[in-house]
């Protein structure tokens, strides 16, 4: 077995354990409330030690929001892949499909998770912090789309931040509608309101 295969197998196993711990945490938070559940409770429910749980997640917030950080790079990659002749707003809107695509696979689970995050101040704050960390990557990807690449300007950063605000507002409206409204339509509507199109 090569070192690459061992690393790949190890990464797959680690991801599977993280997913299982995250699912256990989510179910416990939904049942008992986020603020009432401790890291010790999460570890016990998952059948692991506290230190094992903390090896996978630095905090109980991260057990719910662990995937959010990786989404920023996914959106930046999707933005870089957009056609060069596409305007910035269209490219940003289409790049955000990388974030909302999972909502189509399991809308009920996505709605439950979004409700948990929005209904828990600590989670909501942590999610916004994580999303704010996407801004430099999105702004950089947006600047790279031109030939020659633009400098990282205030205007480019404002566009990146505005796109994230559109995403959050669309998610807020989608959640308030209990998932009845179409998330893609809401995101399109938010961008249309922003750009005047």
Number of domains in the chain: 2
pTM for this model (two decimals): 0.82
Q: Could you tell me the pLDDT band of residue 26, with boundaries at 50, 70 and 90?
A: confident
Where does the pLDDT of residue 51 fall: very low under 50, low under 70, confident under 90, or very high at 90 and above?
A: very high
Tens of pLDDT along 101-111?
Answer: 888 888 988 89
CATH of the domain at 122: 1.10.357.10
128 and 47 in one domain?
A: no
Query: Dihedrals φ, ψ of 130, to 5°?
Result: -65, -45
Whether 73 and 101 map to the same domain: the answer is yes
Average pLDDT of the residues of the chain: 89
**Domain closes at, from 63, 95, 114:** 63
pLDDT tens for each residue of 57-76: 988 888 888 777 778 889 99
Domain CATH for 39: 1.10.10.60
Locate all alpha helices (DSSP H) within the chain, ordered by sequence.
Answer: 3-32, 39-46, 50-56, 60-65, 68-80, 88-95, 97-105, 107-118, 121-132, 135-144, 154-176, 183-195
45 contacts 24 by C-beta, under 8 angstroms: yes
41, 96: one domain = no
| pLDDT at residue 151 in the model | 83
Q: Residue 197: is its pLDDT beyond 80?
A: no
Q: Taking residues 34-58, report their average pLDDT.
A: 93
Please report the pLDDT score of residue 91 as a whole number.
96
Q: Are residues 83 and 159 in the same domain?
A: yes
pLDDT at 10: 85
pLDDT at 109: 85
Model pLDDT for residues 125-159, shown as the tens digit of each residue: 999 888 888 999 999 999 998 778 788 889 999 99
Residues 126 and 147 in one domain: yes
Tell me, yes or no, whether 84 and 55 share the same domain.
Answer: no
Q: In terms of residue numbers, what domain contains 168?
A: 67-195
pLDDT in tens, 160-195: 999 999 999 999 999 999 999 999 999 999 999 998
CA 141 – CA 182 distance, rounded (Å): 27
* For range 3-13, the mean pLDDT: 71
The two structure tokens encoding residue 155: 């205007």
Residues 74 and 100 in one domain: yes
Rounded distance between C-alpha atoms, residue 116 and residue 110, angstroms? 10
C-alpha–C-alpha distance, residues 197 and 109, integer Å:
33
Residue 181 and residue 156 share a domain: yes
């Amino acid at each position: 077995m090569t070192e690459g295969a061992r690393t790949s197998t190890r990464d797959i196993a680690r991801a599977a354990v993280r997913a299982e711990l995250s699912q256990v945490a989510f179910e416990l938070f939904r049942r008992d409330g986020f603020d009432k559940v401790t890291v010790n409770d999460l570890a016990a429910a998952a059948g692991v030690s506290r230190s094992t749980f903390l090896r996978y997640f630095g905090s109980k917030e991260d057990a719910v929001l662990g995937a959010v950080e990786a989404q920023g790079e996914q959106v930046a990659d999707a933005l870089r892949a957009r056609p060069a002749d596409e305007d910035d707003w269209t490219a940003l809107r289409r790049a955000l499909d990388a974030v909302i695509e999972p909502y189509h696979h399991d809308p009920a689970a996505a709605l439950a998770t979004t409700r948990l995050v929005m209904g828990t101040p600590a989670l909501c704050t942590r999610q916004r912090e994580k999303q704010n960390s996407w801004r430099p990557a999105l702004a950089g990807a947006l600047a790279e789309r031109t030939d020659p690449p633009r400098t990282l300007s205030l205007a480019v950063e404002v566009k990146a931040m505005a796109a994230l605000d559109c995403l959050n507002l669309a998610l807020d409206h989608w959640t308030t509608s209990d998932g009845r409204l179409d998330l893609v339509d809401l995101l399109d509507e938010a961008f249309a309101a922003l750009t005047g199109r």
